[in-house]
Chains A and B, each alone.
Chain A
Amino acid sequence: MNPFRRRHGKAPVLAMVTWVYVLWSLLPVLIAVRISLNNGRSRSSFQPMSFRWYWGDSTASLLHDDSMRVALFNTLELAGLCMLIATPIGVAMAIGLQRWRGRTSNAANGLMLVPIVTPEIVFGVALFLVFTQLYTGFPDGLTRQLLGHVTFTISFVVVIVRGRLAAIGTQYEEAARDLGASRLQAIRLVLLPLLSPAIFASVMVVFATSVDDFVISSFLSTGASTETVPIKIYSGARAGSTPALNALATVMLLLTLAAVAIATVVLKSIQRRGGEDPGPTGGLAGLSG
């Protein structure tokens, strides 16, 4: 018997379970998107389609409800700034940690991993207390939220970039040094280009993590002007709300997916120029150990 056939033997039950799972995991979200297009106020069943809750309704639609617009801009501003700050710090930290040997490096490695394993509520409470009791000089609201987001996304960048660093090895950099490049030149001209797929993956993960964050934003929020989309979704469902909430979530979803799509295209083009394939799950599998 052909061993190849045995390995890829048919597994109809497993296949069914898997595809039913995929359906179960994605269908509710599609239904929520469909509900955002409802013509009426129902948040539970399908009604004729319109863009009433996007821009049609003159008071409660996404376009005309100030609090929703504010939440959307806050979320994007936080995520954008967070990418700009956390990515360089994280990339530098990954490069630094890789070279760092000795006992203190174990401590630094451990420190880098703690934020990943810390439940978000612990994170949220800790930041909330430190800002109210000790770092009172930082302006409340968005500044504090940004500092919080950066703190808990740095580690993701480090883990993803280190995975790639391990795959690259040190030989390219050593070759560059042998050919006369300074240490910084070797990093800038050789290492960073090789790292670019991992850096792109990190940027995406930082963006998605920041956009998705509810707990930290919520603990550091000071009211309507510092609400983000997740906070708005959370508080909105309790009060008798409209499909505008679904519209808000849908817009956020489309923006994220568009960003992921752009990043994927860029990654592909980098790979075509000679990089390695980071695998179908991108950097995400690296996060999971």
Chain B
Amino acid sequence: MFAVPGVGWLIAFFVVSVYAVMAVAFGGVDPFLKTSIPAWNPLQWDFTTMGNVIHEVFNGYLREVFVRTFVFVALSLAGCVAIGYPVAYYAARKAGRHKGLLLAALVLPFWISYLMRMLAWTNLLQPDGLVNQVLGWFSLPDNRNWLDGDWYTVVIGLIYGYVPFFILPLYSTLERLDGRLIEAGRDLGASARQTFLRVTLPLSVPGLMAASVITVLPMFGDYYTNSYLTSGSPRTEMVGNQIENYLRNTGQPQTGASLVLILMAMLFVLMVYYMVTTIRQQRAAER
């Protein structure tokens, strides 16, 4: 009974909204006004636009954008693992008496607006900004324009933006990990490295998966980090930029809506994985 308002709200504003995306994607366009004529009846759905868009994704101008999105996300995820795992591991198992302070520092970015954190980087990365000044102290090339549309700026920005969201779920898994298993590994004669590789790492896989999924999903839809850090350079364009452009700047909403559906289809497995594991954990906790 108590769940009714919430379920009703989510159906009215979420389920129906996603259905509206389908109605627009499979609907028509007014030939004169260039406005969308959504097809609310599935029997009237027209898949021509979707077919064209899928063709462009695999063979046309959209392929580069999709490949770039995948590469950016993959590199950023690798960065998140490389930075996030040691930090989460240290915080969960080695921090000792500084643990409270460290946790506060790890949670702090959650309370700082994402775009403020990006704004901070646009300050630092200006041609006469602090990053170049510091590089100059070490006699390194200090005249690079970081905000000029280079892939590494975007990847660094994405890592900086999302790594806090990666660390926290991983931390909670590593923290719950049974320390006796690690001790047992050591007692049975494994070296520290062997114990890590054969006990700790396998046990932390669920946490790694959860952390990866929860960072990768929003990254795939991100269109503001790259465009903010490169002044909208087409050289760093991701899927989200195309979607935004089609929906807001051109008169082709059904192309944008089709791209949204393609993106959702690509991410479907990850979304379901996260939902299923979460529901299982809930059930286990309530038992």
Chain B interface (Cβ within 8 Å of chain A)? 1-7, 9-11, 13-18, 20-21, 23-24, 36, 38, 83, 86-87, 89-91, 93-96, 99-100, 102-124, 126-130, 133, 160, 163-165, 168-169, 171-172, 179, 182-183, 186, 210-211, 213-214, 217-218, 220-224, 228, 231-232, 240, 243-244, 247-248, 253, 256-257, 260, 263-264, 267, 270-271, 274-275, 277-279, 281-282, 285-286
Give B229 Cβ to nearest chain A Cβ, in Å: 9
Q: Which of A6-25 contact B (CB under 8 A)?
A: 6-9, 11, 14-15, 17-18, 21-22, 24-25
CB proximity to B under 8 Å, residues A48-74: none
Q: Is the CB of A130 within 8 A of B117?
A: no
CB <8 Å contact, A44 and B123:
yes
Taking a contact as CB atoms closer than 8 A, the residue among A43, A215, A257 that contacts B224 in the complex is A215
- B256 near A125 with CB under 8 A, answer yes
A246 B100 Cβ-Cβ under 8 A = no
Are A117 and B183 closer than 8 Å at their CB atoms?
no
| Chain A residues engaging chain B, CB cutoff 8 angstroms | 3, 6-9, 11, 14-15, 17-18, 21-22, 24-26, 28-29, 31-32, 35, 43-45, 89-90, 92-93, 95-100, 106, 108-123, 125-130, 133-134, 147-148, 150-151, 154-155, 158-159, 162-163, 165-167, 208, 211-212, 214-215, 219, 229-230, 233-234, 237-238, 245-246, 249, 252-253, 256-257, 260, 280-282, 284-285, 287-289
Q: Which of B15, B20, B253, B274 has the most CB of A within 10 A?
A: B20
CA distance A156 to B83 in the complex (A): 26
Q: Are B247 and A128 in contact (CB under 8 A)?
A: yes
Q: Is B6 in contact with A31, judged by CB distance below 8 angstroms?
A: no
Name the CB-closest residue of B to A107. B7
Q: Which 6 A-B pairs have the closest CB atoms?
A: A119-B221, A96-B3, A93-B6, A288-B169, A96-B2, A44-B126
Q: Which residues of A contact B128 (CB under 8 A)?
A: 44-45
Tell me whether B119 and A129 are in contact (CB under 8 A). Answer: no
Contact between chains at A154 and B10 (CB < 8 Å): yes
Q: With A22-B105, A253-B113, A288-B211 given, can you name 5 additional A-B contacts, CB distance below 8 Å? A: A21-B87, A118-B217, A121-B223, A238-B231, A289-B210
Q: Write out the residue numbers on chain B whose beta carbons fall within 8 Å of the beta carbon of A233.
A: 113, 115-116, 118-119
B116 touches A289 (CB 8 A): no
In the complex the two chains form, is A133's CB within 8 Å of B36's CB? yes
Residues of B within 8 A of A150 (CB): 9, 13
Max chain A C-beta neighbours (<10 A), residue from B17, B96, B211: B17
CA distance A128 to B244 in the complex (A): 11
B2 surroundings in chain A (CB, below 8 A): 92-93, 95-96, 99
Whether the pair B260, A122 counts as a contact (CB closer than 8 A) is yes
| 8 Å CB contact of A127 from B13, B96, B115 | B13
Q: Which chain A residues lie closer than 8 Å to B93 at the CB level? A: 7
The CA of A111 and the CA of B275, in the complex, are separated in Å by 9
Interface on chain B toward A: helix, strand, loop, or mixed SS? helix
| 22 sample A-B contacts, Cβ–Cβ < 8 Å, listed by A number | A14-B86, A14-B90, A28-B123, A89-B6, A93-B3, A96-B6, A108-B7, A111-B14, A117-B213, A118-B271, A119-B263, A120-B218, A122-B221, A125-B257, A130-B16, A150-B9, A151-B10, A219-B247, A233-B118, A253-B113, A285-B169, A288-B214
Tell whether, in the assembled complex, residue B96 and residue A21 are in contact, meaning their CB atoms are under 8 Å apart: no
Task: Verify B282–A166 contact, CB threshold 8 A.
Answer: yes
Residues of chain A with a CB closer than 8 A to B172's CB? 281, 285, 288-289
Decide: B111 and A208 in contact? CB cutoff 8 A: yes
Residues of A within 8 A of B129 (CB): 44-45
Query: Nearest Cβ distance between residue B241 and chain A, in whole angstroms?
Result: 10
| Chain B residues whose CB sits within 8 angstroms of the CB of A111 once the complex forms | 7, 10-11, 14-15
Partner of A237, one of B109, B119, B160: B119
Whether the pair A32, B123 counts as a contact (CB closer than 8 A) is yes
Contacts A106-B279, A151-B10, A288-B172: A230 and B179 contacting too (C-beta < 8 A)? no
* Min distance, Cβ B255 to any Cβ of chain A, angstroms: 12
Report yes or no: A28 in contact with B113, Cβ–Cβ below 8 A: no
Q: How distant is the Cα of A11 from the Cα of B264 in the complex, in angstroms?
A: 42
B-chain residues with CB within 8 Å of residue A110 when the two chains form the complex = 275, 279
Asked whether, in the complex, the Cβ of A130 is within 8 Å of the Cβ of B17, the reply is yes
Instruction: Say yes or no: B163 contacts A230, CB within 8 Å.
Output: no
Give chain A residues whose Cβ lies under 8 Å from the Cβ of B164: 25
Q: Which residues of A contact B124 (CB under 8 A)?
A: 28, 31, 44
The one of B117, B183, B263, B282 in contact with A109, judged by C-beta atoms closer than 8 angstroms, is B282
* Residue among B7, B130, B218, B224 with the highest chain A CB neighbour number at 10 A: B7
Contact of A98 (CB < 8 Å), options: B11, B89, B165, B286: B286
Asked whether B169 lies within 8 Å of A237 as measured between CB atoms, the reply is no
Contacts of A118 in B (CB 8 A): 217, 264, 271
Cα–Cα, bound, A285→B106 (Å): 12
Given contacts A89-B5, A119-B218, contact A125 B286 (CB under 8 A): no
Chain A CB within 10 A, most for which of B109, B126, B221: B221
Does A90 lie within 8 Å of B6, measured CB to CB?
yes
Nearest CB of chain A from residue B71's CB, rounded to whole Å: 18
